């Protein structure tokens, strides 16, 4: 009787956080793994599942780089009680580094399909089904030439199957020919290359069979053979490992070894829970593959299998139709993101689109320190050595039945989500990045995931691209603002120049009451001729500073000409303007004394007020102020005797 494994006794007081790191190019299998882990854990106790995925195939150490590699660097920050690494398409080295980083933090780790040094693993055991396949090809189908197609990243499956391949050839007195071991990437398009290589190696007659370590390669091989009128299985027998739902639908006649993913998931969850409980578990654990015969190796498909495949194909067709509508809406969503003029607009578009697509629990979490960068025209403050994620994250758009709408809420990165997890929660995490920069991540809560998995990939790329595009818009706007400022600013005094009058005059002239004032620096030519132009520039700057110090909140001050300054104001009090001239000259006199200048600095002043009884143009107002200013200048000259 099977032993029932459950979480520790203190689980009543704690919700266990279990990570699932998954790297799969096959979206159907990807979803099967997530649902299976979720279901198994749900039956065993209070837990929350954190799914981190990149929907891609990675080799070597690519993941440790910034950008797309940040999909998995979240593991370094979030709090977990245990983690399952499901990465059949990744290299041993890559997943080994994941496991090592988790083990250093004393987080129990179990790996599916990969044997990692120091980490308990659950691997597909091919001995029974693999030998059955080889015996069938040699004894039943009389094959004397058997080719073996290896895919990078399938080292465990390849290693075991190669041993079976060699031993069965020897057992049947058939030669082992290294040239028949072919290597190929996982792609339907590689079918042409594979078939060319097989036919060119041994163009003569003979019964040929091909065993592919990945079902996608076997599908590509069959499709290419059909194009060339090569019959299967009469002329070429095709078999596959890593059998998946996707290839069963499109090529149900391919003989293959069923991976039985749900069995692997149940075994890995049991082992992980035992490790969390403090038990020791075997380092190497296996689940058996089962050979599924199809007509590609000369065997008939049973009626039950055909019926299952027919239903699966119908379901797939309906799903694709629904997905077509989602993709169409996603394209409109992309347009709205590209048109966003601010992060607020961007977050609003994201929020409305996800609700429209039927998502009922989602959070867009961005790095807190990145938000000012996204909304500004400044350069990226982060360097290659900067962490991918900030210690504090900000939810810019979020919604769930539990929280309602939330925006701009901060929370620690180690929590990963802005809400307290509840038993049975599932969080699907999609990092948001562009090129070599990470901005944050999306979190989808529980089973509210109506979008097809590959649409999520489009969605993920759209978010990163649109954030980067928004920042570029901010750079462009900032540059335009700077050009505008330079166009309207007097470089010497820092005041507006005459061009600003055209831009801002209407703010005052549409008011029924406003004032235009002119100030003219007395004796600028004499200062320039006697003490030089630097002295004249200093005198102009002294006047500008005095005007700015006396400036009311809404006043507009600009350098109107060489030695003339213009003020536009909503203040129409005559006493204020009468006193302003004296106040300015007194301030300038003190400035001369403070700087111990050998020349005096003073201004002549004039103003004109529109009192609402008439509507003169701005030019007429300036002319009136100019006449009064020159009258004031003549009076000052008379008093000074000059």
Domain ranges of the chain: 123-260+281-300, 309-418+470-488, 499-640
- The whole model's pTM is what? 0.66
pLDDT tops 80 at residue 204: no
3-state secondary structure 199-267: HHHCCCCCCEEEEECCHHHHHHHHHHHHHCCCCCCCCEEEEEEEECHHHHHHCCCCEEEECCHHHHHHH
Give the least confident one: 20-34, 41-55, 194-208, 405-419.
20-34
Indicate the DSSP class of residue 573. -
- Give the distance, in angstroms, between the CA of residue 376 and the centroid of all CA atoms in the same chain: 18
Confidence of residue 59 (pLDDT cuts 50, 70, 90): very low
Give the pLDDT band (50/70/90) at residue 5.
low
Place 163 in a pLDDT band, splitting at 50, 70 and 90: very high
Q: Which pLDDT value is given to residue 444?
A: 87
Tell whether the model's pLDDT for residue 155 goes beyond 80: no
Q: How confident is the model at residue 408 (pLDDT cuts 50, 70, 90)?
A: very high
Quick one: DSSP state of residue 496?
B
- Measured from the Cβ of residue 97, the count of other Cβ atoms closer than 10 Å reads 16
Higher pLDDT among residues 50 and 249, named by residue: 50
Higher pLDDT among residues 241 and 636, named by residue:
241
Task: Choose the weakest-confidence range: 204-213, 415-424, 452-461, 524-533.
Answer: 452-461
Nearest Cα neighbor of 239 from 335, 151, 130 is 130
The pLDDT of 349-370, averaged and rounded, is 86
Mean pLDDT of 279-283: 93
If you count DSSP H runs as helices and E runs as strands, how many of each does the chain have, helices first?
19, 22
DSSP tag of 533 = H
Average of per-residue pLDDT across 487-491: 83
Report pLDDT for 411.
Answer: 94
Tokens of 574: 């005559």
Mean of pLDDT over the chain? 81
Question: Quick one: tokens of 270?
Answer: 């049991």
By CB atoms closer than 10 A (0-12, 13-18, 19+), residue 399 is buried
Q: Tell me the residue ranges of DSSP E strands in 341-480.
A: 361-367, 392-400, 404-406, 409-412, 425-434, 437-445
H/E element, 356: helix 343-356
What are the percentages of helix, strand and coil residues in the chain, rounded to 5? 50, 20, 30
Does the pLDDT of residue 512 top 60, yes or no? yes
Average pLDDT score over residue span 110-126: 85
- The reported pLDDT for the residue numbered 82 is 93
Domain with residues 499-640, CATH architecture: 2-Layer Sandwich (3.30)
Cα–Cα dist 206/618, whole Å: 99
What band does 450 get if pLDDT is binned at 50, 70 and 90? Answer: very low
Residues facing 456 on adjacent strands: none
Percentage of the residues of the chain whose pLDDT score is greater than 90 = 30
In terms of DSSP bridges, do strands 284-288 and 255-258 run parallel, antiparallel, or are they unpaired? Answer: unpaired
Tens digit of pLDDT for each residue in 218-261?
888 988 999 999 988 888 999 988 765 556 666 678 888 887 88
Q: Which helix (H) or strand (E) holds 23?
A: none
pLDDT attached to residue 55: 42
Q: Is 313 in a helix, a strand, or coil?
A: helix
| pLDDT tier, 323 (very low <50, low <70, confident <90, very high otherwise) | low
Mean pLDDT, to the nearest integer, of 308-314? 67
**Lookup: tokens for 223:** 């499709």
Q: Which residues contact 141 (CB under 8 A, 6 or more apart)?
A: 207, 209, 233, 237, 297, 298
Class of domain 123-260+281-300: alpha beta
Q: State the pLDDT at residue 261.
A: 82
CB distance 130 to 104 below 8 Å: no
Round to whole Å and give the CA distance between 612 and 409.
50
Banded pLDDT at 175 (limits 50, 70, 90)? very high
């Amino acid at each position: 009787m099977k032993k029932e494994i459950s979480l520790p006794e203190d689980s009543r007081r704690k919700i266990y956080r279990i990570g699932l790191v998954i790297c799969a190019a096959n979206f159907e299998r990807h979803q099967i793994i997530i649902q299976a882990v979720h279901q198994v854990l749900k039956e065993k106790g209070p837990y929350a599942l954190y799914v981190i995925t990149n929907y891609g195939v990675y080799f070597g150490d690519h993941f440790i780089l910034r950008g797309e590699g940040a999909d998995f660097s979240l593991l370094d920050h979030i709090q977990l009680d245990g983690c399952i690494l499901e990465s059949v398409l990744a290299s041993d080295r890559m997943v080994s580094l994941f496991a090592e980083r988790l083990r250093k933090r004393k987080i129990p780790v179990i790996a599916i399909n990969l044997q990692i040094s120091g980490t308990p693993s659950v691997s597909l055991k091919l001995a029974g089904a693999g030998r059955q396949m080889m015996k069938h090809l040699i004894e039943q189908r009389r094959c004397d030439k058997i080719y073996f197609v290896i895919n990078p990243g399938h080292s465990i499956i390849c290693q075991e199957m190669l041993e079976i391949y060699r031993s069965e050839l020897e057992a049947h007195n058939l030669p082992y020919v290294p040239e028949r071991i072919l290597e190929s990437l996982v792609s339907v398009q590689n079918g042409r290359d594979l078939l060319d290589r097989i036919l060119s190696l041994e163009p003569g007659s003979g019964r040929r069979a091909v065993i592919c370590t990945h079902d996608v390669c076997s599908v590509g091989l069959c499709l290419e053979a059909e194009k060339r009128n090569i019959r299967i299985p009469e002329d070429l027998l095709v078999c596959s490992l890593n059998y998946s739902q996707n290839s069963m639908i499109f090529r149900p006649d391919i003989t293959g070894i069923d991976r039985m993913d749900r069995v692997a998931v149940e075994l890995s969850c049991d082992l992980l829970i035992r490790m969390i409980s403090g038990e020791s578990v075997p380092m190497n654990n296996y689940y058996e593959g089962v050979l599924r015969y199809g007509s590609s190796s000369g065997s008939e498909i049973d009626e039950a299998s055909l019926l299952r495949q027919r239903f699966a194909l119908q379901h797939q067709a309906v799903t694709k139709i629904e997905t077509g509508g989602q993709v169409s809406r996603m394209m409109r969503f992309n347009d709205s993101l590209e048109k966003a003029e601010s992060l607020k607009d961007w977050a609003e578009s994201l929020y409305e689109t996800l609700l429209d697509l039927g998502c009922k629990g989602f959070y867009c979490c961005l790095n807190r320190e990145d938000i000012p960068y996204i909304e500004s025209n400044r350069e990226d403050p982060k360097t290659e050595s900067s962490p991918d994620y900030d210690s504090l994250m900000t939810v810019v758009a979020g919604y769930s039945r539990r929280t309602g709408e939330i925006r701009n809420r901060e929370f620690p990165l180690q929590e990963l989500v802005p809400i307290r997890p509840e038993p049975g929660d599932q969080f699907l995490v999609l990092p948001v990045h562009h090129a070599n920069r990470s901005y944050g991540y999306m979190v989808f809560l529980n089973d509210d995931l109506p979008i097809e998995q590959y649409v999520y990939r489009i969605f993920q790329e759209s978010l990163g691209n649109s954030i980067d595009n928004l920042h570029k818009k901010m750079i462009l706007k900032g540059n335009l603002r700077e050009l505008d400022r330079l166009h309207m600013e007097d470089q010497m005094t820092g005041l507006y120049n005459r061009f600003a009058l055209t831009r801002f005059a209407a703010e005052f002239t549409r008011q029924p009451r406003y004032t235009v004032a002119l100030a003219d620096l007395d004796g600028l030519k004499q200062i320039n001729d006697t003490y030089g132009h630097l002295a004249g520039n200093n005198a102009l700057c002294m006047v500008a500073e005095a005007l700015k110090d006396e400036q009311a909140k809404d006043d507009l001050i600009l350098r109107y000409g060489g030695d003339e300054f213009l003020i536009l104001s909503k203040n129409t009090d005559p006493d204020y303007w009468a006193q302003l001239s004296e106040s300015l000259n007194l301030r300038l006199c003190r400035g001369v004394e403070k700087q111990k200048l050998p020349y005096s600095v003073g201004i002549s002043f004039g103003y004109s007020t529109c009192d609402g009884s008439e509507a003169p143009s701005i030019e007429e107002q300036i002319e009136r102020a100019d006449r009064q200013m020159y009258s004031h200048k003549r009076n000052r000259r008379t008093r000074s005797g000059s």
